[in-house]
Structure 1
Amino acid sequence: MTILFTDLGKAMRFVWQHGKMWVTASVLFMMLLGIVPIATLWVMKELINTVAGLIQYQPQAYSQALWLLILQFAITVSASLLQNVQRLIDQTFEFRLDHHLQNAMIGKTISVPLTYFDLPDFYHHLNRISGNQGTRFLSPVSNLFLIGKSLITLFSYLTFLFSIHWSLVLLSSLAAVPILLVQSKFGVERFHLIYQQTPMARDAKYTASLLWDRQSAKEIRLFSLGEHLRRRWSEKYIKNIKEVIKLSRRQHSANIGLDAVTALFYGGAAGIIVWLIRTTSLKIGDFVAVGQAVQGTQGAINQTAGLFASIYQESLFIGDFFRFLEYEVPGHDKQKGTRPFPVPLEQGICFDNVSYRYVNSERDTLREVSFMIHAGEKVAIVGENGSGKTTLVKCLMGLYPVSGGQIYFDQSPSDELANQEIYKNITVIFQDFMKYAYTIRENIVFGDIEKISESERMEAASVQTGAASFVQRFEKGYDTMLGRFLADGEDLSGGQWQKIALARAMFASGQIMVLDEPTAALDPDAEMEVFRQFQQLTQNKTTIFISHRMAAARMADRIIVMKDGRVAEMGTHLELTMLDGEYARMYRMQAQWFTDKQDYVEV
C-alpha cells in the first residue's frame, strides 16, 4: 500500500509539473459541479411544493414558480457548460501529457545499454506500458477531483438527510463498503492478468505483424505460411480473450450482487420514508426530495467507491511505468565515462583479456581476448558464424560493457571515455545496417546528424561510394523517399542500399572504421565493387574488417582468427597459411568451394 501511494504521488507530481493550469481549473470546476446536485434537488423540492400550492389556489405561488423554473434552467445550462468545458480541457491536457510520457519512455529506450534489447523481460515491460499513457496518468488524478466533487455532493445530501432522520444517513452509507472491496479486488486481478498475459500477447501481436508486413509477405507466400501463422495468432489471441472474459464474467456476476445489496439498502430507506410520512408532516416536495437524496447519496457513495478502486488499479499501471523508467540490470548499466577520445589515435586499440557474457547467460561469448591494432592498420577479424566477431565489435563500440578485462584507445580505458566520443570516432557498418524509410539525403546524413546541413559533403560521400550514379536518375534526387512504407518511394537493390550505407559511413568520417560483414547480402558483382573500393574508403583510417570469407581477409595488413570466443591465430595471410591451422583450413575449404564452382576470384 505504501508503494501504491508513492507511485500515485509521483504521478500527481508529474501532472502538476506539466499542467498547473489544468489542475487549478479542475479544482474550480470540481467545487462548482459538486454543489450542482444539491442545488438542483433544492430547486426541485421548492418547485414541487410551489406547484402543490398552485393546485390549492395560492395565487402568490405563480411568481415564485416562474423564478424557480428560471433558476432550474440556469443551473442546468451552467452545469452543461462546466462539464463540456471540463471535458475539452481534459482532452487537450491528456494529449499533452501523453506526449510528455511517451517522450520519457522513448528517452529511456534510447539511453539504455544495447544489452537490454537482448532481454525478453525488457521487451515485455516495454510492450506492457505502451499505449495511451496520458489517459492512465490523468485518470487517477481526475478521479481524485471527481472524488472531491462526489464528497461535496455527498456531504450536501447527508446534511439534508440528517435534517430529516439520522437512520437515512446510516443506510445510505453502508452500501459503500462491499462496492469498494469488490471493485478493488477486481482492479488488482485485471492488472495481474495483463501482467501475466504480456508474453503471449506479444507473440500474437508479432505473428499478426508478420501477416501484414511488406517485408515478410514474400516468404510467407513462398512457403505457404499464411494459414499456419493465422492459426498461431488465433490460438494465442483466443486464449488471452478467454481469460479476460472469464474475469469479466466473475466481475459482472459480482456487480449483480452489488446491485442487489444497493437495492436492499434503498428499500430500507424507502421504508423509513414511509414511516416518517405517517409520523411527521412532510410535504409532497419534501417526500420526493428525500427519495432523490437517498438515491443521490447512494449514487455518490457508489461513484466514490468505484473511483477509489479505479485509482488503485491505475496506480498499479503507473507504478509499472515508473519501474520501466528505473529499469536497470546490475553490471550492465550505461557507461558513465567523461574523458575525451584521443584524437588523433597515435598508438592504436588494445584488447587486454576482454571477456563478455550476455545477460542471464551461463557462459562467456568472448573469453580473455587480447590483441593490438596499431593506428592506421587494416585488420581483418575472421571466423565462422558464432565465433564472437560481432560481439567483439559491440564491445569495442561500448554498446556492450565488457565482463572482464579492458579495451584501450591509446592509453585511455574505454569505460572512462564518453559514449558519444566513442560513437563519433568509430564508424560501423553492420551486416544488418538500417534501411530508413526516409529520403536518400536523410539516409546519408544520419551518419553525422550534427552536420545535416552540409549538402556538399553529403554529395561528396555519395560520389565516393558510387551512390550518386543511381541517385541522379531519380526525379527528386537526394530528396527521393526510399521504400514504400511511408510513401510511394523507390525500392533499391541490395547493392544500392549497400552504397547508401557506405555513403553514410563516409559522411560520419570517424577515424576508426569497422566493416562488419558488409558484403554478406550482396551478389558477387556488387561484392567485388565494394572490395575494389576498400582501399579508397579506408584511406588514412584504422580499419577493422569482419568477415567469414577468407578471400576478403587478404585485403588486410593482418588477420585475427576467432574461434569459440577466443583469438585462435594472428598474422598475415602468408603467415597463417604456412601455420596450417584454423585459418588455412577455412581458406582451403572456401577456395575449394569456389574452384568447384569455377567462380573463385583472387582479391
Structure 2
Amino acid sequence: MRKRLKQQRPQSSIAGRRPPRTGERMKMKHLLKSVRMVWKLGKAWLITTILFSIIAGLIPVTALWITKELINAVANLIMDQAGDYRLALSLLLLQFLISLFSSVMTNWQEYLDRKIELRLDHDLQQVILAKTTSVPLAYFDIPDFYHHLSRVQGNQGSRFVSPIRNLLNIGKSGIVIGSFLIYLFTVHWSLVLLSLVAAVPIFLVQRKFGNSKFRLFLFQTPLAREANYTSHLLQDRNAAKEIRLFGLASHLAKRWSDRFWRNANQSLKLLRKQQLADVGLDGLTALFYVGSAGIIIWLIRTTSVKIGDFVAIGQAVQGTQSSINQISMLSARIYEESLYIQNFFHFLEYENQALISETGTQPFPAPLKTGIEIDAVTFSYPGQDRPVLQNVSFQIRPGEKVAIVGENGSGKTTLVKCLMGLYPVTSGSISLDGLNIKQIDKSDLYQHITVIFQDYMRYSYSAHDNIAFGDIERLDDHPHVQEVAATSGVDEFVQKFPNGYNTYLGRFLQDGEDLSGGQWQKIALARALFRDGDVIILDEPTAALDPHAEMEVFRQFESLTRDKTSIFISHRMSAARMADRIIVMKDGQVVEIGSHEELIALNAEYAQMYGAQAKWYA
C-alpha cells in the first residue's frame, strides 16, 4: 500500500511553486509554529493543562499504593475478625476522594480543551479566509489550489491543539511510567526491562500507519472533492430543476456512489492492514505480560509478598505497559497531526510566481484626463500554453462609451478582469492616464471601477444589503440605497415587500422573496450605481434576458452612465449601436474598431454578426 500510494500521489501542477518539503526539520518547524500560535491565544489553557497533566501523572501510583494498602488491610481483617476497621475505611474514603477529584479534573480539562479549540477554529478559519480573499483571482482557475484548500478545511482547532495535548499526555504517561518503574525496580529489575522492550514495535507500527493514513488523505482529496460536489448538486435548490428535467438524479447518485466507495475501499484496505498489525501487537503485549506474571510468581516463591503487593505488582506492570503503549500511539498521532499542520502552512505559503503581481501604492487618477490605454496585452491562464488574449491594443477616452463585442470565448470577460487588475497580464501593459495599473493601489482601483459581471452575485441577504454591498464603507447609508434603488427601478418592487428593504431575497436563509431574472438584474445595477465609480463596466449581465429586456437594461444603463467612462461587453449586437465606438474581438484578438456605421460599411466580422442577429431586434 505504501509503495502504491507513493506512486500515485498527486504532484503540484503549479509552475514556479517549490514542492512541499516533508523533512523532519520542516515538520518540527511548523509544529513549533503551531505551538507558538496556541501559546499566544491560550496561555492560561496551556499552563492549566500542564499542571493537570503533572497531577494526573501522579494519581495512578497514588491509587496503586492506596489499593495495595487497602487489600492488605482487608486481608488482615479477614484473618483477624476483631481487627481495627478504621484504616480500611479511611483508605476507602481516600480512594473515593481521589476518584472524584480525577473525574472533576478530567471534565474541567475537556471543557477547557473545547473552549481553546473553538477559539482556534475561529482564528485559523479567519487566516484561511484571509488567504483565499487575497490570492490572485487566477488561483481559482487552478484545481491544485482547491485541493490544498480542501485538505486544510474542518476541525483546524482540534488538529492544532491535538499535538500539544498529546505531548502533554506523553509527559503525563512519562510520570506514570517513571513512578511505576521506580516501584517495579524495588521489586526486581527484570520487570522494568520487560516493560520497556514491549514499547519498541508498537511505536514503529503506529508511526508507519500514521504516515500512510496522511498520504492516503492527500491521494484521495480530488476524488473526495468530486464526491462532495456531486452530493451538493443533488441537494442544491438551484440545481434541482435541471436534475429533474434532464433525469440526472440516477446518474449523479451513481457517480457520487462510485467516488464514495473508491475512497472508502482505499481507507478500509489501509484500516484492515492496521488492524492486523494491531492484533499482532496485542499478542506481543500479552506475551510480555505473561512473562511479567511468571516473574511475579517466581518472586512469590522466593520472597515474602503479601496479597496486596501481588496485586500492586501486577497492576504496575500492566500500567507501565499501558502507558508505554499510550506514549507510542500518542507519538504516532503527533507525527500524523504534524503532517496536517505542515500542509496547513504549505497552503498559507502557496504561491505561483507567474501570477504574483506588483502591489501598487499610487492613487487612482480620478477624474480621468487622457483615458485608458491597453497596449499589446497578452494573457494565458496558469498551466496553459494557448493565450486567451493575444496582443490586444486600443484606447478609451474619458467619458467615452465603448462596446466590446464578440462570440462567446473571444476573450471579452478575461480582458475585463485584466482591466480590473484581477488577472496580471502575461505581457503588455494597461495604463490609466499614463499610470500603469500595477502601480495603482488595488483597493483604490476597485473603488473607482465598477463592474457588473455576467455571473453577478445574488446574495441571500436583505434587499438593503444586496445594494449597499456596492460600497461596504457606506453600508448603513439607507437614503443613498433608496436613491439608487429608485433610479434603477428596484424601488418599484421592493416597496411591495412586507419588510421593504429589510426583506431577505430568495429562500436559502429565510422565507424571503424570490425575484425574477430582470429584478435581480436591477438589483445588480443598483449595487453598481451605489459604488459610483469613475469607470463602469457592464460585462454581459443580460445574457439570460430576452433581447427586449436586454435593450431596456442597456438604455437604462446608458442614461445612468452619462458623463462617465463606460464599457458594454456582449456577444449580442443589440447594445453596440448605443456606443461611441465598437471593439470587435475574435479568438483573443481585436479584429475591428469603429462606430456601428463604419463597421457595417466594412462588411466584415461585425457586419456578419449583426446580420445574423438582426431578426432578434428587427
Whether TM exceeds 0.5 here: the answer is yes
The yes-or-no answer on 1:464 pairing with 2:481 is no
The yes-or-no answer on 1:78 pairing with 2:101 is yes
Letter matched to residue 47 of structure 1: L
Structure 2 counterpart SS, 1:369: strand
User: Which residue in 1 is equivalent to 2:245?
Assistant: 222
* Superposition TM-score, scaled by structure 1 size: 0.97
Q: 1:352 aligns with which of 342, 350, 375?
A: 375
Separation in 1, partners of 2:485, 2:221: 44
Q: 1:109 aligns with which of 117, 132, 136?
A: 132
User: Which residue in 2 is equivalent to 1:403?
Assistant: 426
With over 3 angstroms needed to count, the CA separation of the structure-2 counterparts of 1:201 and 1:320, relative to structure 1, is: same
Q: 2:411 aligns with which of 388, 393, 400?
A: 388
Q: 2:581 aligns with which of 558, 562, 574?
A: 558
Separation in 2, partners of 1:487, 1:97: 29
Separation in 2, partners of 1:224, 1:515: 35
Separation in 1, partners of 2:557, 2:364: 25
Contact 2:551 2:574 in 1 (8 A): no
Q: What is the total number of aligned residue pairs between the two structures?
A: 595
User: Which residue in 1 is equivalent to 2:508?
Assistant: 485
What value does the CA root-mean-square deviation take over the aligned residues?
1.1
Contact 2:372 2:431 in 1 (8 A): yes
Structure 1 residue 333, shift from structure 2 partner: 2.0
Letter matched to residue 147 of structure 2: H
Structure 1 counterpart SS, 2:304: coil
Q: 2:553 aligns with which of 530, 534, 541?
A: 530
Separation in 2, partners of 1:62, 1:163: 29
Separation in 2, partners of 1:531, 1:308: 65
Q: 1:124 aligns with which of 110, 134, 147?
A: 147
Separation in 2, partners of 1:411, 1:539: 24
User: Which residue in 2 is equivalent to 1:586?
Assistant: 609
Q: 2:617 aligns with which of 583, 595, 600?
A: 600
Structure 2 counterpart SS, 1:111: coil
User: Which residue in 2 is equivalent to 1:11?
Assistant: 34
Structure 1 residue 128, shift from structure 2 partner: 1.5
Separation in 2, partners of 1:535, 1:392: 21
The yes-or-no answer on 1:37 pairing with 2:54 is no
User: Bigger CA drift: 371-380 or 44-53?
Assistant: 44-53
Structure 2 counterpart SS, 1:554: helix
**Deviation digits for residues 424-469 of structure 1, max 9, x if unmatched?**
0000000110000111000000000000111111111101111111
The yes-or-no answer on 1:283 pairing with 2:306 is yes
Q: How does 1:35-184 map to 2 (within 5 A)?
A: 35-57=58-80, 61-184=84-207
Separation in 2, partners of 1:119, 1:59: 84
User: Which residue in 2 is equivalent to 1:237?
Assistant: 260
Structure 1 residue 528, shift from structure 2 partner: 2.4
With over 3 angstroms needed to count, the CA separation of the structure-2 counterparts of 1:130 and 1:334, relative to structure 1, is: farther
Letter matched to residue 452 of structure 1: L
User: Which residue in 1 is equivalent to 2:334?
Assistant: 311
Separation in 1, partners of 2:431, 2:538: 20
User: Which residue in 2 is equivalent to 1:431?
Assistant: 454
Letter matched to residue 499 of structure 2: K
Contact 2:357 2:438 in 1 (8 A): no
Structure 1 residue 59, shift from structure 2 partner: 5.6
Percent of residue pairs bearing the same amino acid type:
58
Q: 2:469 aligns with which of 446, 467, 470?
A: 446
Separation in 2, partners of 1:429, 1:20: 48
Q: 1:570 aligns with which of 593, 596, 609?
A: 593
Contact 2:548 2:617 in 1 (8 A): no
Contact 2:124 2:157 in 1 (8 A): yes
Separation in 1, partners of 2:296, 2:100: 32
Letter matched to residue 61 of structure 2: I
Letter matched to residue 213 of structure 2: R
Letter matched to residue 483 of structure 2: A
Structure 2 counterpart SS, 1:474: coil
Letter matched to residue 208 of structure 1: S
Letter matched to residue 600 of structure 1: Y
Structure 1 residue 535, shift from structure 2 partner: 2.2
Letter matched to residue 577 of structure 2: R
Structure 1 counterpart SS, 2:512: coil
Q: Following superposition, which runs of at least 4 residues in structure 1 exceed 6 angstroms of deviation?
A: none
Letter matched to residue 10 of structure 1: K
Could you list the runs of 5+ residues in structure 2 that have no partner in the other structure?
1-23
User: Bigger CA drift: 447-456 or 526-535?
Assistant: 526-535
User: Which residue in 2 is equivalent to 1:421?
Assistant: 444
**Deviation digits for residues 540-561 of structure 1, max 9, x if unmatched?**
2100111111231111001111
* Superposition TM-score, scaled by structure 2 size: 0.95
Contact 1:570 1:576 in 2 (8 A): yes
Structure 2 counterpart SS, 1:550: coil
Contact 2:181 2:320 in 1 (8 A): yes
**Deviation digits for residues 138-194 of structure 1, max 9, x if unmatched?**
111110111111101110001100111110001011111111111111111111111
Could you list the runs of 5+ residues in structure 1 that have no partner in the other structure?
none
Separation in 2, partners of 1:405, 1:334: 13
Separation in 2, partners of 1:267, 1:155: 22
Structure 1 residue 348, shift from structure 2 partner: 0.6
Separation in 2, partners of 1:446, 1:533: 21
**Deviation digits for residues 46-88 of structure 1, max 9, x if unmatched?**
1112222223328664222222122111111111111111111
Q: 1:325 aligns with which of 348, 365, 386?
A: 348
Structure 1 residue 237, shift from structure 2 partner: 0.6
Letter matched to residue 153 of structure 2: S
Contact 1:457 1:507 in 2 (8 A): yes
Contact 1:51 1:61 in 2 (8 A): no
Separation in 2, partners of 1:47, 1:549: 92
User: Bigger CA drift: 92-101 or 56-65?
Assistant: 56-65
